[in-house]
Amino acid sequence: MIGIIDIHCHLTFEQYDADREQVIEEAKQVLKGVVTSAVEPEDAKAALELAELHTDFVFVTLGLHPIHVGGKTDQEIGEYEEFISENKGRIVGIGEIGLDYHWIRDPLKIKRTKEVFVEFLALAKELDLPVVLHLRGTGSEAIAEGLKIITDEDIRKAVFHCFTGKPQLAEQICEEGYHISLPASIVRSKSMRNVARRVPISHLLTETDAPYLSPIEEEERNVPQHVKAVYEEISRQRKIEFDETEREVERNFERVFGVELG
């Protein structure tokens, strides 16, 4: 059975505290699987617990979002990396990790986030896991820089989560063998629609980044099943059937994350 997949959301976030189980049960009616991404150590524990409750449906990536780097000591980061290593068998990737020039402007803080980013890339290589990248900033600066860093660090499998760059940069990323993940907010983005049309479908993945980036109203809480909007848009842009998009994305997901969906 083919089904749709949300490769990046945040089911542990407080926006779901009132009805998390209901949200997941409703997602199960539409989706074949979701990947919830942990952004810091406490979130990581919650994500692993949630996946235990929903085996073979909720998968986990563990990372340290750049906005959380500044508040952590070297020792805390080291302990978190150890925790990730100990739980390698329970996760499908390292992420989200990366650079954020939208929220982080101080040069010393930027330097620190880059150092920690490279540390987590080394961890991903050591554990032989793909990385999920958060690269945000003015224009495509952070994306281009992130691409250079991961190629310099010889990363084999990477997903550029919530890609907002230009189609030419997306093509360059795919030429390096990496993957682009498009969010449900594609319905409001001409640039994302161009990316959906222009890059090889063998390099496309689909996500919501829920609870953010709803395809309906930007401020409304997003849910994993809204990933269907990405599939519809990819199918429309490429002039292919919905089920062909389903097949291709599932194949890409299994190849990148090493997960076989039942």
Opening angle at CA 141, ends 177 and 70, nearest 5: 100
pLDDT tens digit string along 65-93?
Answer: 999 999 999 999 999 999 999 999 999 99
What is the pTM (predicted TM-score) of this model? 0.97
CA distance 23 to 1: 22
pLDDT tens digit string along 6-32?
Answer: 999 999 999 999 999 999 999 999 999
For the chain, the structural domain boundaries read: 4-257
- The mean of the pLDDT values for the chain is 96
pLDDT tens digit string along 48-61?
Answer: 999 999 999 999 99
With cut-offs at 50, 70 and 90, classify the pLDDT of residue 2.
low
| CATH superfamily to which 4-257 belongs | Metal-dependent hydrolases (3.20.20.140)
Residue 1 has pLDDT above 70, yes or no: no
pLDDT tens digit string along 171-230?
Answer: 999 999 999 999 999 999 999 999 999 999 999 999 999 999 999 998 899 999 999 999
